[in-house]
Amino acid sequence: MTSPFVLTVHKNFAFKLKEAGCDPQQIASHLQEVLLEDEEITQIIQELSSQPERFSSRQDFA
């Protein structure tokens, strides 16, 4: 099982990939490359699908 800290890092990166326009399959492929377990990947993809876009990036304040 992946440590909670590492899982959070990858989850945050997955959100950035989503914001950049990557589809769930591309994100899952990345998560597989970093050796996350299938159930962890499924959980992250489900969270990405159920949450609205996050407000991020300093550009949004310009």
Chain segment 15-42, per-residue pLDDT in tens: 999 999 999 999 999 888 887 888 988 9
* Stated pTM of the model: 0.63
Q: Please check whether residue 58 lies inside any domain of the structure.
A: no
- Based on the structure, what is the number of domains in the chain? 1
Query: Using alpha carbons only, how large is the chain's radius of gyration in Å?
Result: 12
Q: Please check whether residue 54 lies inside any domain of the structure.
A: no
- Copy the structure tokens of residue 28: 């899952």
Residue 19's CB: how many other CB atoms inside 10 A? 13
Q: Please check whether residue 55 lies inside any domain of the structure.
A: no
